[in-house]
Amino acid sequence: MPSTTTAPPGRSSSTPTASVRNRNICWSPSRTAPWPPCNATRPKPERAAMQFVVDALLRAGDLMLVTLGLSTVYALVRFPNLAQTEYATVGAFMGLLFAGFGLPLWAAALAASAITGAFAVALHRLTFAPLLKVSPVIAMIGSLAAAIIVRSVIQATAGTRSTRFDLPIEAPMTVLGAAITPTQAVILTVTAVFVAGFLLVLYRTGLGRSMRAVATQPELARACGIDSARVVDAIGFMGGAFAALGGVLLAVGSQVHFNMGQDLLLPVFAAAIVGGLGSPVGAVFGCLALAIVETLVTNLNFGFLTGDDFLYVPLAYGPAAGFCLLVLTLIVRPNGLFFRESARV
């Protein structure tokens, strides 16, 4: 449990919210341990650097699978699906439901991902595909309506109270001087494996070649006999499944609530735009860039600016730093850091 010691000036001593999760040393916030007394010994620079890396990776992991699905689907259908983050909420609640039936967590996560992927394909066929024939803008508005409907259904059926997976409380372990819980280590590993696997499929398989062909030259791809509708369905399934898996992993590390998708919407789109909307590789680096900026701003002690011993940016303002990065990226590279019109994927 978090310590009851007083936080340093510029920091609240109240318990952090679940979305921020745990925090540690008084000179620098972390996600794995509570505040110690402010006269605690300052950690060595190399230990602080490793803790910063771990915290940034944890934040990037919160967003990466959802962002990867969003950016990949956009590369094919060419409209921003605002319902993409709601798939994470659907997946989290489905995973919680299956876990309540007695399934192991890994099986519950896979089942939730598969069902949510099928739901994403059905929603695209029945709603977004007809609207795309009118215009991408109309399809985007339709996706906003779909997101609101999905969120409302979840709220009506699951309620507004947050809940958690039934997991034991873990003490953080120390890896190269950085504190991280075993569950967080598993979450990072699973995220890395699925991201690497998807990129291998994209660049080393026939499905990946077909997808890149449909994304860059759809008419030529159809002329070559590629079934573009089937490719869109396959990628739509992957996008929904990845978002659901990301939602389950996020819920395992924090909690499940009906507003998860809305909380993810802005940072996920910011990361996708920074990396280059439509670029899967850009989505990965966009999440990393956003996480680094958010973590850096909330970890730095700005006391030297005012002469105070401690002065930190409140944790609630961390996302604002990420949006400053977004604005800067739009000014310097409006299409994102990794966007290439000739090869969006």
Q: How far apart are CA 33 and CA 299, in angstroms?
A: 14
Burial group, residue 200, by CB count within 10 angstroms (0-12, 13-18, 19+): exposed
Looking at residue 34, its pLDDT comes to 43
**Residue 287 near residue 250 (C-beta atoms within 8 A):** no
The pTM for the full model equals 0.81
Question: Which pLDDT belongs to residue 340?
Answer: 59
Band the pLDDT of 296: cuts 50, 70, 90: confident
Would you place residue 239 in the very low, low, confident or very high pLDDT band (cuts 50, 70, 90)?
very high
pLDDT in tens, 252-267: 988 899 999 999 999 9
Percent of the chain predicted with pLDDT > 70: 82
Among 257, 233, 252, which Cα is nearest to 162's?
A: 257
Average pLDDT, the chain: 82
Give CA separation, 103 vs 95, 100, 106, 112, in Å.
9, 7, 8, 11
CB-CB neighbours of 20 under 10 Å = 16
Tokens of 33: 């341990």
Report d(CA 4, CA 9) in Å as an integer.
15
Task: Give the pLDDT of residue 171.
Answer: 80
> What would the two tokens of residue 6 be?
């007083």
pLDDT digits (tens, 9 = 90+) for 188-198: 999 999 999 99
pLDDT reading at 51 higher than 50: yes
Quote the CA–CA distance of 257 and 159 in Å, as a whole number.
8
Cβ atoms of 45 and 174 within 8 Å: the answer is no
The answer to whether residues 65 and 245 touch, using CB atoms and an 8 Å cutoff, is yes
